[in-house]
């Protein structure tokens, strides 16, 4: 098996976890970690038993692939640098700060024939993967992603921080272009939008109602999907899946329903995401979540943000 030399760029809270996963994937040699915060970088490097780098340029000639887990405003400059230097990239979501930047990154990756994956990790959630086999033609989707307030990630609003997870999942399931967006939201604890709700209509006729909050008292990650004769509920947090299917005609007394319920082990979606990226490089196959997927999710997120801000002015 071809050994892939890698590095993780940006080793704050999430980047540290990415580095751990690189150490766990067969066929990967984690050469080092890179961060402008020297103290944090050296700390994670010691923990991983690898070299500390403080400038991305130091990685040239050392690695074939990187994971970029820096803050969102830094994504474009870092990813552009690595793609221009013919290094494969897995970048944390969102792909970039705006669609102009994202479009350029997609162009660069395709021009240089590089693997460019976006870290929409929910795609690797075992509960979601099991539920996909049941999905035929979604008609209505309802999602709630709620979380208590945390200081990190407040450089972006809740739509780019949390909701974008579900926008990517919805787009991958519906397989249709959004044609209408109506959204509301407001700042609560930051100057950014901290809670938002969006209604999205698709060309296929499907409708999605999506709520995201980072100022809630509890954590909730629930995804509900309705299609002809079927209702599917997925709890991304617990791994519980419920699937209800109408099996005959209802009467005044009863509705013939078949109910499947199962609880999947949470697994390690971040490890699976990292492994899939490495395997795409080794086997020269398409990545699981492409730059174009990331661009599509960001484009929809921007429409929602624009709609919310119009209502706030």
Write out the CATH class of domain 4-120+269-288: alpha beta
Q: What CATH number is given for 123-265+300-312 in this structure?
A: 3.30.360.10
Series of mean pLDDT values for 10-residue runs along the chain (313 residues)? 91 96 97 97 98 98 98 96 98 97 98 98 91 92 95 83 97 96 96 96 98 95 96 92 87 81 84 97 97 98 96 87
Hey, where are the domains in the chain? 4-120+269-288, 123-265+300-312
What does the pLDDT read at residue 131?
87
What does the pLDDT read at residue 153?
65
What does the pLDDT read at residue 59?
98
Answer whether 4-120+269-288 and 123-265+300-312 agree in fold.
no
- Give the predicted TM-score (pTM) of the model: 0.94
Residue 236: name the closest of 146, 138, 298, 117 by CA. 146
What does the pLDDT read at residue 1?
62
């Amino acid at each position: 098996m071809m050994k892939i030399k890698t590095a993780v760029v940006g080793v704050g809270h999430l980047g540290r976890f990415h580095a751990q996963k690189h150490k766990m994937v067969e066929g990967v040699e984690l050469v080092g970690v890179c961060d402008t915060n020297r103290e944090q970088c050296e700390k994670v490097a010691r923990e991983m038993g690898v070299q500390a780098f403080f400038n991305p340029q130091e990685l040239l000639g050392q690695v074939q692939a990187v994971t970029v887990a820096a803050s969102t405003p830094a994504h474009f400059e870092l990813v552009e640098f690595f793609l221009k230097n013919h290094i494969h990239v897995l970048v944390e979501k969102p792909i970039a700060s705006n669609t102009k930047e994202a479009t350029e990154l997609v162009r660069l990756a395709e021009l240089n024939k590089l693997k460019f994956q976006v870290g929409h990790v929910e795609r690797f959630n075992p509960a979601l993967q099991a539920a996909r086999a049941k999905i035929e033609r979604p008609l209505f989707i309802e999602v709630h992603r709620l979380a208590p307030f945390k200081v990190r990630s407040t450089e972006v609003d809740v739509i780019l921080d949390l909701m974008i997870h579900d926008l990517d999942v919805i787009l991958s399931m519906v397989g249709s272009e959004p044609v209408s967006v109506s959204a509301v939201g407001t700042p609560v604890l930051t100057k950014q939008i901290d809670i938002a709700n969006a209604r999205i209509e698709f060309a296929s006729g499907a409708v999605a109602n999506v709520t995201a909050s980072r100022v809630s008292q509890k954590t909730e990650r629930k995804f509900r999907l309705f299609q002809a004769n079927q209702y599917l509920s997925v709890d991304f947090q617990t791994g519980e899946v419920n699937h209800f299917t109408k099996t005959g005609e209802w009467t005044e007394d009863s509705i013939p329903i078949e109910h499947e319920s199962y609880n999947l082990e949470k697994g390690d979606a971040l490890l699976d995401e990292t492994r899939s990226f490495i395997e795409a490089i080794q086997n020269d196959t398409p990545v699981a979540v492409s730059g174009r997927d990331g661009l599509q999710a960001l484009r929809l997120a921007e429409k929602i943000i624009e709609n919310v801000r119009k209502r706030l002015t």
